[in-house]
């Protein structure tokens, strides 16, 4: 299938390929798993809560008969949990794709820290994924060009990034924590591409944003997506600029699978907030090499993970 003719409803066969998805029990992560499994891939659905994971796995197997899936506990805000999951996946023969999707999308009103003493939004959305991806380079390389995909956001155009204070010790607000975490995610995704190329590693790094994908416009699935009447109403009121999470997942799935998606590229929906996936233009701040280098050093030190 050529790049221009990509059809998210008819994906290339993924038989024999293995993918790990974080935050797989709900939202974009869940629907990405469905789409990958429907294309024949083996999918490792990871999440932080066993019951929520079990419900999501049951739903997926019901909706995609014959799907090849397993579940894995992985809390991206917890560096110990990352190490345990990375040890398990790292021992496998290959990993073709890693979808760094899990996210706190409604940050707490007041700044909170994790057991590792990191700010919770930064820890969940950024640091955990940086540590996980850095720990899984070997199985990605063994797949011969395995790919990691980072979940950015169109909100990155709305705020700069302060490399002196990635964990918002000063001036925390929920909105700022979220947007800053997404700028940081994009910075790391593009920096990972440069470093992997420089090191000559056969691993790719791609960044994707899913537009504006809401639960209220998404099919109801018990234990996975159970929107309130209010969110259905609001979602439909905003129909001109929103899409379902199922359609939002089209973007990261294309970023993972399309052979024409180059390492270092950025993908988003055609109409910015909705539509089929196509190459997009990333906010300038997230392409800034100096900010990226400072953030990279900070993450390596804070997570105690050094990418080879």
Ligand X SMILES: NC(=O)c1ccc[n+]([C@@H]2O[C@H](COP(=O)([O-])OP(=O)(O)OC[C@H]3O[C@@H](n4cnc5c(N)ncnc54)[C@H](OP(=O)(O)O)[C@@H]3O)[C@@H](O)[C@H]2O)c1
Q: Name the residue among 165, 181, 68, 59 with its Cα closest to residue 120.
A: 181
Give the range of 69-77, 131-139, 160-168, 274-282 binding ligand X by CB under 6 A: 69-77
Residue found by looking up tokens 């796995």 in the block = 57
Residue 244 binds ligand X, judged by CB under 6 A: no
Q: Nearer to ligand X by C-beta: 52 or 278? A: 52
Closest of 191, 180, 181 to residue 126, by C-alpha = 181
Among 72, 187, 71, 33, smallest CA distance to 122 is for 187
Q: Which two tokens stand for residue 22?
A: 């974080």
Q: Which one is catalytic: 30, 172, 178, 212?
A: 178
Piece of the chain touching ligand X by CB under 6 A; list 70-78, 140-148, 162-170, 283-291: 70-78
Closer CB to ligand X, 27 or 143, in the complex: 27
Our finding on whether 76 is near ligand X (CB under 6 A) is yes
Please provide residue 225's backbone torsions phi and psi, each rounded to the nearest 5 degrees: -145, 105
Distance CA 223, CA 51 (A): 9
For residue 85, state whether it binds ligand X (rule: CB under 6 A).
Answer: no
Contacts with ligand X, 87-126, as mask; x by CB under 6 A: --------------xxxxx------------------xx-
Q: Does 45 bind ligand X (CB under 6 A)?
A: no
Q: What's the min distance (Å) between Cβ of 225 and ligand X?
A: 8
From the list 63-71, 196-204, 210-218, 280-288, the region that binds ligand X by CB under 6 A is: 210-218
Report CA-CA distances (Å) from 201 to 131, 132, 133: 17, 17, 13
Q: Which of 75, 96, 191, 288 binds ligand X (CB under 6 A)?
A: 75
Integer Cα distance of 180 and 177 in angstroms: 5
Select from 277, 276, 282, 246 the least CA-distant residue to 264. Answer: 282
Q: Which is nearer to ligand X, 143 or 182 (CB)?
A: 182
Is 172 an annotated catalytic residue?
no
Burial of residue 308, with CB atoms counted within 10 A of its CB: 0-12 exposed, 13-18 middle, 19 or more buried: exposed
CB of 82: closest distance to ligand X in angstroms? Answer: 9
Q: Cα separation of 219 and 47, whole Å?
A: 21
The 211-230 site mask, x for binding ligand X (CB under 6 A), equals -xx-----------------
In whole angstroms, the minimum distance from the beta carbon of 38 to ligand X comes to 18
User: Nearest to residue 283, comparing CAs of 178, 166, 164, 190?
Assistant: 190
Our finding on whether 71 is near ligand X (CB under 6 A) is no
- Residue 49 binding ligand X, by CB under 6 A: yes
Beta-sheet pairing, 68-73 with 42-47: parallel
Residues that bind ligand X (CB under 6 A): 22-23, 25-29, 47-49, 52, 75-77, 101-105, 124-125, 151, 153, 209-210, 212-213, 245, 248
Would you please indicate which residues are annotated as catalytic (active-site) residues?
178
């Amino acid at each position: 299938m050529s790049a221009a003719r990509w059809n998210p409803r008819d994906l290339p066969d993924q038989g024999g390929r293995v993918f790990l998805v974080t935050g797989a029990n709900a939202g974009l992560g869940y629907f990405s798993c469905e789409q990958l499994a429907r294309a024949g891939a083996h999918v490792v659905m990871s999440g932080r809560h066993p019951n929520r994971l079990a419900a999501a796995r049951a739903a997926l197997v019901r909706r995609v008969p014959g799907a090849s899936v397993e579940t894995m506990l992985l809390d991206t805000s917890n560096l110990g949990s990352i190490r345990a999951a990375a040890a398990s996946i790292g021992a496998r023969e290959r990993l073709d794709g890693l979808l760094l999707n899990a996210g706190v999308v409604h940050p707490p009103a007041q700044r909170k820290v994790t057991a590792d003493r990191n700010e919770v939004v930064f820890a969940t959305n950024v640091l955990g994924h940086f540590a996980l991806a850095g720990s899984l380079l070997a199985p990605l390389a063994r797949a011969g060009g395995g790919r990691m995909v980072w979940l950015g956001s169109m909100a990155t155009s709305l705020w700069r990034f302060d490399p002196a204070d990635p964990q918002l010790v000063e001036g925390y607000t929920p909105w700022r924590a979220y947007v800053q975490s997404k700028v940081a995610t994009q910075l790391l995704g593009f920096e990972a591409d440069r470093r992997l190329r420089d090191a000559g590693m056969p691993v790719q790094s791609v960044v994707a944003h899913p537009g504006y994908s809401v639960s209220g416009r998404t099919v109801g699935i018990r234990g996975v997506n159970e929107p309130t009447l209010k969110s259905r109403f609001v979602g439909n009121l905003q129909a001109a600029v929103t899409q379902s999470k199922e359609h939002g997942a089209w973007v990261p799935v294309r970023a993972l699978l399309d052979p024409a998606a180059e390492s270092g590229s950025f993908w988003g929906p055609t109409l910015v907030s909705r539509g089929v996936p196509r190459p997009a233009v990333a906010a300038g701040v997230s392409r800034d090499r100096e900010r990226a280098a400072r953030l990279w050093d900070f993450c390596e030190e804070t997570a105690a993970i050094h990418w080879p």
